[in-house]
Structure 1
């Protein structure tokens, strides 16, 4: 069952709150989103797959327990091997041809996946694109 626009708006409002615990199901996995402390005065939305996240999953399929679902629910990030200033310094000092010869990874980019989302809107944008994502209804506590 797909998630409606009204439900997505409600999910985004929940994610903007202080206490966040939103759960989804996808391909037999439970996807949980919680707000966790990231730095001293900074919080982030972290995505857990079946209640865990592993640092090895960030770099791809190097872990035997790696599941390709990570690429769907975590945020894709890239980083250049050499910063633009370092690259310019090398090209200026050695010339473009020698810099490429000595530093073969000069233009390479490293790709990794991060379980943390800075804003609720960015998480909702990514999750809206996932097919077969279903919201798990939490029982309402009448005493709360």
Structure 2
């Protein structure tokens, strides 16, 4: 997956009943292939999602590297977290509601919806994004979330 050429899957896409998971998989694949482009991994949203399900970047990265398909990844995660469908749905709903504004911005930035993305002048976007990527990388490592 080359995220410098196309966006990751939309935040609302689901796998194994979990929103954000397909997008996370795309970002991990791009991270492992060094094709993240302007995307950050693990971003603050990635980390929040993983915390909700007690997952770590190290676990996700290993799983994505070793699994043959998205379905295999989804099955392995569901087996690991051992939550009912209702609880997974509840946690995803809380995640969706908490970050509703961020998802609206992502939809616009990724081109899934028309309109302005980040409400910042173009000349400020690149330096702020570089700062965010450095901050995010310092905040999380493959062994710490």
Structure with the larger helix share: 2
The structure with more radius of gyration = 1
**Structure-1-length-normalised TM-score:** 0.29
Structure with the larger strand share: 1
